[in-house]
Structure 1
Amino acid sequence: MIQFLSPPLPHFICCGEDTYPIGGRHPDRSSIGVFDLLVVTRGCLHLSEDPLSLTVPAGSFALLRPDRFHRTALPCEEETHFYWLHFHTLGQWKEVDERPDAINEGSKDAFQTQTVHQFAHYLPQTGKMTFPEAAYGWLRELLDLEDETTVASQWRQQILFQELLLCLQQAAKLPASSSYISVADEASAYLRRNYKTAVSYKAMAEELHFHANYISLCMKRAYGCTPLEYLATYRIEQAKRLLIDTNETIGRIAEETGFGTFSYFIRSFNRLAGCTPKEFRTRYR
C-alpha cells in the first residue's frame, strides 16, 4: 500500500490503452520516474515488481512504483486488454504497512497551519475495482481528451483522474490496527463542525461513541496533537481568514471563532501565529 500526503494532490500525466495477444508480454522497465497504473478490462496480466508478484485479472488494477524494476512474470494466457495511466506527485509518498506514521508535516503561510490542511490517502498496489464500469468510463474520457490541448481539457483530465483515485482508494482497506485513523478523522470533522461553540471532551465522546481518552490517543497518533490542540489551531486559522477578509472587530472575531474571552483569544493567537491579531491584519491586509 502506498501513502500519499496531500496537498499537493497526485497529478495526471498521460494515458493510453493496449491489447496483448496470447503470449503477449508487458515491457520490462526500471525506474521510469512516474507511477504506472494498469487497469485490466479483459484477460489477465502477470507482473512482478520486487518483492511483489502481481496478478491482474479483468476488473482489477496494479500500481507500479516509479523507482523499481518491474517485468512480466508470465505471458498472457488469453487476449488481454488494459488501460495504462502515468501519474506522479510533488508531495511526499512512501510505501506503508499496517502502521502509517503520524501526519504532522506541512507548510505554513497566512492561511495554512501544519496540523489541519495536510491529509494522507492510501492506494493499494493491486486490487479489484469497486465500480469497474465507472472507472472504464473515466479512462475512456481521459483518452478522448489526450488529443485536446486546451486549458479546459487539461483541467478536466485532472478532475477525472481524482475521481479515479477515489475509486481505487475504496479498495485500500486499512488493517484493523489502523482503525485509529478513522476515529481521528471523525473527531477532527466533529471539531471543525463545532468550533464556534464550547466543545467538551464529554460531548465529543457521546457524539462519537468512543471514550474521550481513546479519541485523544487516536488524534495524537494520527495528527500529532490532542483534540484541544487541533481545535485551537483550527479556530486560529478561521480567525486569520476573518482578519484578512472582513472588517469585523477583533473582539467580534474572537466570539465568532469560539474563544470564550477576548484575552484568551489574544494569548492563543500570539502563541500559535507568533503575533497579535492586529499585527497579523496589518501585515496581510
Structure 2
Amino acid sequence: MFQFISPPLPHFIYCGEDAYPAGGQHSDRAGIGVFDLLIVTRGCLYMAEESVPLEIPAGSFALLRPDRAHRSTSPCREETHFFWVHFQTLGSWHETEREPAPAELRPADVLHEIHRFAFYLPRSGALSSQDAAYDWLRQLLALQADTGSFSQWRQQLVFQELLLRLQEDATMPERHSYVTIAEEAAAFLRRNYRETLNYKWMSETLHFHANYVSLCMKRAFGYTPLQYLTRYRVEQAKRLLIDTNESVGRIAEETGFGSFPYFVRCFSKQVGTTPKSFRMRFRQG
C-alpha cells in the first residue's frame, strides 16, 4: 500500500489505452520517474515489479512505483485491453503499512494553518465500480486531446475522483489505529471548539477513554486535546481579527476562550504578538 501525505495532492500527467493480442506483452521499463496505474478491462497482464509478481485480470488494477523496474513475466493468453495513467506527487509518499509519523501530519505555524492528512492507495486490487472507473478514464483521454487550461484543470478533478474510488476500494489501516482515533478526536474538537472542553463528552462520543484519546492525539499530532483545541481556537480568532470588525473581547467569546486575559495569553504565546497588534498588522496602509 502507498501512503500519500497531502497537500499537495498527486497530480495527473498523461494517460492512454492499449490492447495486446494473445502472445503480446507489456514492455519492460525501469525508473520512469512517475507512478504507473494500470487498469485492465479485458484479458490479463502478467507482470512483476522487481521481485513482486503482479497478475492484473480484467476489472482490476495495479500501481507501479516511479523508481523501480517492472517487466512482463508471461505473454497475454488472450486479447488484453487496459488503460494506463501516469501521475506524480510533490508531497511525501511511502510504500508502507505503517501509520504517519507525527511530523508528517503536524501543520506549520502559518497565518492559516494547512491541515495535512494521509490517504492510502493499494498496490493492486479489484475495482468495485468498474463502469465508473472506465468512464473517468475515458474522460481523461478525451480531455487530453484539448490543451486548453480549462481541460487541464478538469483533468485533475477527474483524476482525483479516480484516486478517491481506488482509496475506497483499499484495505485501510485498522479502524481503531491511533491515527484514526486522533483524526476523529480532532474533528470532534473542531466541530465543538466554541464549547468548553468536556473530556467525558468527548470520550462518550468517540467510545474511547479520554486518556487513550489524549495519547493518540499526542502521538499523531504532537498535541494533547487541549493543546490542539487551543491552537485551533487561535486560528479561528486570527480569521475573525482579519476579516471582521468585532471587538477582541467578543472574538475571545466566539472562539471558546473562557476569559479575555486567557485568550490574550494563549494568542500571544502561539502567534508571538497580542490580538490587537496582530489585527493592526493587517489594517495598516
TM-score under structure 2 length normalisation? 0.93
In the alignment, the residues of structure 2 paired with residue 198 and residue 152 of structure 1 have an alpha-carbon distance, to the nearest angstrom, of: 46
Q: Deviations for 1:168-194, whole angstroms, at most 9, x for unmatched residues?
A: 111222343862222222211111110
Who is 2:217 aligned against? 219
Who is 2:58 aligned against? 58
Aligned residue for 1:176, secondary structure, equals coil
Who is 2:161 aligned against? 163
Aligned residue for 1:12, secondary structure, equals strand
Q: How does 1:132-281 map to 2 (within 5 A)?
A: 132-176=130-174, 179-281=177-279
CA displacement at 1:85 relative to structure 2: 0.5
Amino acid in the other structure paired with 1:189: A
In the alignment, the residues of structure 2 paired with residue 107 and residue 118 of structure 1 have an alpha-carbon distance, to the nearest angstrom, of: 9
Aligned residue for 2:119, secondary structure, equals strand
CA displacement at 1:241 relative to structure 2: 1.1
CA displacement at 1:51 relative to structure 2: 3.8
User: What is the total number of aligned residue pairs between the two structures?
Assistant: 282
Task: Confirm or deny: 8 A CA contact 2:105 2:118 kept in the other structure.
Answer: no
Aligned residue for 1:84, secondary structure, equals strand
- Judging changes above 3 Å, is the alpha-carbon distance between structure 1 residues 269 and 139 closer, same or farther for their aligned structure 2 residues? same
- Judging changes above 3 Å, is the alpha-carbon distance between structure 1 residues 284 and 58 closer, same or farther for their aligned structure 2 residues? farther
Task: Confirm or deny: 8 A CA contact 1:269 1:277 kept in the other structure.
Answer: yes
CA displacement at 1:99 relative to structure 2: 4.2
Question: Does residue 1:110 correspond to 2:108, yes or no?
Answer: no
Q: How does 1:11-50 map to 2 (within 5 A)?
A: 11-50=11-50
TM-score under structure 1 length normalisation? 0.93
In the alignment, the residues of structure 1 paired with residue 176 and residue 32 of structure 2 have an alpha-carbon distance, to the nearest angstrom, of: 31
Task: Confirm or deny: 8 A CA contact 1:100 1:178 kept in the other structure.
Answer: no
Who is 1:81 aligned against? 81
The share of aligned pairs that are identical, in percent, is 61
In the alignment, the residues of structure 2 paired with residue 228 and residue 131 of structure 1 have an alpha-carbon distance, to the nearest angstrom, of: 42
CA displacement at 1:216 relative to structure 2: 1.5
Who is 1:130 aligned against? 128
In the alignment, the residues of structure 2 paired with residue 3 and residue 122 of structure 1 have an alpha-carbon distance, to the nearest angstrom, of: 5
Moved more, 48-57 or 194-203: 48-57
Amino acid in the other structure paired with 2:22: I
In the alignment, the residues of structure 1 paired with residue 101 and residue 78 of structure 2 have an alpha-carbon distance, to the nearest angstrom, of: 42
- Gaps of at least 5 residues in structure 1 are none
Task: Confirm or deny: 8 A CA contact 1:110 1:284 kept in the other structure.
Answer: no
In the alignment, the residues of structure 2 paired with residue 243 and residue 71 of structure 1 have an alpha-carbon distance, to the nearest angstrom, of: 58
Query: Pairwise CA RMSD of aligned residues?
Result: 1.6
Task: Confirm or deny: 8 A CA contact 1:98 1:174 kept in the other structure.
Answer: no
CA displacement at 1:104 relative to structure 2: 3.6
In the alignment, the residues of structure 2 paired with residue 216 and residue 51 of structure 1 have an alpha-carbon distance, to the nearest angstrom, of: 42
